């Protein structure tokens, strides 16, 4: 028969065991502590066109596996990228993307950055403090403070927050009070006040899993040839005098494609509208071919009707990389002697990237 003191001692050890089994509570950090813990994880992403001109910028966050996450809309208008802090930057390549989720992954070998600690947007509660670190208006490593205003959609939710988001903030990190990455700051509704939104950190994992799955599905397969990319067009580059022919990407057009397996032949096929200038072609930032002039077809009277037959250009395969590849075709804007003050333009259609 147990004595009174034996029962008390047994209850004491039982309660002690239960306490030790409970998870330790997470302690909120001060804003200063949050900033110190995450500032080395947030990078500036710069975007350049084929001529090396800066055409955009945003923010990015270093992930535990070494990739940098940012918004797809940050990089979509460029063909070259760099990431870094202050005056130190490294060239970056596009490793994966999901246009629908507006997220992409960059790879920048040699970049020195601290991987962010990942949290969960699904565990956020309305009213909890959150912090954004990014480069609004190009002012890198800026800290903004706010709260979770609401959680929108299904789990994991899109995060509505009072944390200010400005151009340049896109792709930056939204962190909780423990310094964990819970979202990617993405957009704001300008019609209201403090209507800012971040994509849930859980979506990054979906992009990572689909690095080679979200690209265009082969749409034709004949005689062992497979079309990896197709744009019917017409696509028009360059001539501001014809507003009804909307230009794409300024003076360049880019096509992202991926192919797993050996490639014997990589061919670009397209029909052009009789350009009288050369058009350089780049594969993963390397000039690999030139589209020669197609003379005699371009006059103002016959512009809508004078399309060439299919032009085939073989592209060297030694510049291909595993995963995502980017092929870019450009045209230089040059003065036309027969039309003083005019600038030459370039139209094409039935653009296809074909491999065997």
Same structural domain for residues 248 and 344?
Answer: yes
Closest by CA to 203, choosing from 217, 234, 182, 218, is 182
| Residue 286 annotated in active site | no
The token pair at 113 is 């950055």
Would you say residue 14 lies in a domain? no
pLDDT at 31 over 70: yes
Same structural domain for residues 46 and 78?
Answer: yes
Choice between 210 and 43, residue whose per-residue pLDDT is larger: 43
User: What's this model's pTM, rounded to 2 decimal places?
Assistant: 0.56
Q: 96: pLDDT confidence band, cut at 50, 70 and 90?
A: confident
From the list 170, 239, 258, 345, the catalytic residue is 170
Same structural domain for residues 255 and 349?
Answer: yes
Most confident of 113-127, 178-192, 283-297: 113-127
Choice between 235 and 303, residue whose per-residue pLDDT is larger: 235
Q: Which residues pair with 151 in a beta bridge?
A: 159
Q: Which residues fall within 8 angstroms of residue 297, CB to CB, at 6 or more apart? A: 273, 274, 306, 307, 308
According to the model, what pLDDT value does residue 286 have? 85
Q: Which residue has the tokens 């507003």?
A: 243
Give the CATH number for residue 194: 2.40.10.10
In the chain, pLDDT over 70 holds for what percent of residues? 69
Which SS3 state, helix, strand or coil, does residue 68 take?
strand
Same structural domain for residues 289 and 171?
Answer: no
Q: 265: pLDDT confidence band, cut at 50, 70 and 90?
A: confident
Same structural domain for residues 197 and 230?
Answer: no
Would you say residue 1 lies in a domain? no
Q: 188 with 195: CB under 8 angstroms?
A: yes
Same structural domain for residues 230 and 348?
Answer: yes
Same structural domain for residues 226 and 175?
Answer: no
183-201: pLDDT as tens digits = 999 988 776 677 889 999 9
Q: Exposed, middle or buried: residue 89 (CB in 10 Å: 0-12, 13-18, 19+)?
A: middle
Would you say residue 5 lies in a domain? no
| Residue 170 annotated in active site | yes
Would you say residue 322 lies in a domain? yes
Q: 49: pLDDT confidence band, cut at 50, 70 and 90?
A: confident
Same structural domain for residues 266 and 181?
Answer: no
Same structural domain for residues 231 and 348?
Answer: yes
Domain coverage including residue 142: 121-205
Distance of CA 46 to the CA centre of its chain: 11
Instruction: Spell out the alpha helix ranges (H) of the chain.
Output: 4-21, 31-38, 72-75, 202-209
Would you say residue 61 lies in a domain? yes
107, 129, 148 - which closes a domain: 107
Same structural domain for residues 162 and 254?
Answer: no
Q: Which of 89-103, 122-136, 170-184, 245-259 shows the lowest mean pLDDT across its residues? A: 245-259
Would you say residue 3 lies in a domain? no
107, 130, 151 - which closes a domain: 107
Give me the number of domains the chain comprises.
Answer: 3
Q: 147: pLDDT confidence band, cut at 50, 70 and 90?
A: very high
From the list 37, 73, 332, 342, the catalytic residue is 73
Report the alpha-carbon distance of residue 175 to residue 146 in Å, rounded. Answer: 10
Give the CATH number for residue 333: 2.60.120.1200
Q: Exposed, middle or buried: residue 159 (CB in 10 Å: 0-12, 13-18, 19+)?
A: buried
Query: What is the 3-state secondary structure of 195-246?
Result: CEEEEECHHHHHHHHCCCCCCCCCCCEECCEEEEEEECCCEEECCCCCCCCC
Q: 281 with 268: CB under 8 angstroms?
A: yes
pLDDT at 134 over 80: yes
From the list 49, 67, 102, 345, the catalytic residue is 102
Q: Which residues fall within 8 angstroms of residue 221, CB to CB, at 6 or more apart? A: 227
Closest by CA to 28, choosing from 178, 155, 205, 139, is 178
Would you say residue 253 lies in a domain? yes
Q: 130: pLDDT confidence band, cut at 50, 70 and 90?
A: very high
pLDDT at 216 over 50: no
User: Considering the chain, what is the average pLDDT of its residues?
Assistant: 76
pLDDT at 339 over 60: no
Would you say residue 329 lies in a domain? yes
Q: Which residue has the tokens 């993963």?
A: 284
Which SS3 state, helix, strand or coil, does residue 325 take?
strand
Same structural domain for residues 345 and 254?
Answer: yes
54, 84, 107 - which closes a domain: 107
Report the alpha-carbon distance of residue 122 to residue 352 in Å, rounded. Answer: 42
Same structural domain for residues 103 and 125?
Answer: no
According to the model, what pLDDT value does residue 338 have? 45
């Amino acid at each position: 028969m147990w004595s009174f003191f034996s029962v008390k001692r047994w209850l004491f050890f039982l309660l002690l065991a239960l306490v030790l089994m409970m998870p330790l509570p997470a302690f909120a950090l001060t804003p200063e502590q949050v900033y110190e813990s995450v500032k080395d994880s947030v990078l500036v992403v710069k975007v350049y066109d084929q001529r090396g001109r800066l055409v955009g910028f945003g923010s990015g966050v270093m992930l535990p596996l070494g990739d940098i996450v940012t918004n797809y809309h940050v990089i979509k208008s460029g063909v070259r990228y760099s990431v870094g802090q202050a005056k130190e930057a490294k060239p970056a390549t596009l490793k994966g993307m999901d246009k629908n989720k507006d997220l992409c992954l960059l790879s920048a070998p040699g970049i020195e950055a601290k991987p962010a600690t990942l949290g969960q947007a699904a565990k956020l509660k309305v009213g909890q403090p959150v912090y954004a670190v990014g480069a609004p208006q190009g002012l890198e490593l800026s800290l903004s403070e706010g709260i979770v205003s609401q959680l929108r959609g299904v789990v994991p939710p899109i995060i509505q927050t009072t944390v200010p988001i400005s151009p340049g903030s896109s792709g930056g990190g939204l962190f909780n009070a423990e310094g964990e990455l819970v979202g990617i700051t993405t957009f704001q509704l300008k019609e209201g006040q403090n209507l800012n939104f971040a994509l849930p950190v859980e979506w990054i994992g979906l992009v990572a899993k689909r690095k080679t799955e979200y690209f265009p599905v082969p749409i034709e397969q004949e005689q062992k040839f497979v079309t990896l990319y197709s744009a019917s067009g017409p696509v028009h580059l360059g001539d501001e005098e014809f507003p009804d022919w909307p230009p794409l990407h300024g003076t360049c057009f880019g096509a992202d494609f991926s192919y797993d397996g050996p490639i014997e032949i990589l061919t670009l096929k397209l029909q052009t509208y009789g350009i009288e200038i050369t058009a350089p072609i780049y594969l993963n930032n390397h000039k690999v071919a030139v589209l020669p002039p197609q003379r005699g077809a371009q006059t103002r009277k016959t512009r809508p009707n004078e399309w060439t037959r299919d032009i085939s250009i073989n592209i060297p395969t030694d510049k291909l990389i595993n995963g995502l590849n980017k092929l870019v075709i450009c045209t230089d804007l040059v003065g036309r002697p027969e039309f003083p003050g005019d600038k030459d333009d370039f139209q094409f259609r039935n653009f296809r990237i074909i491999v065997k």
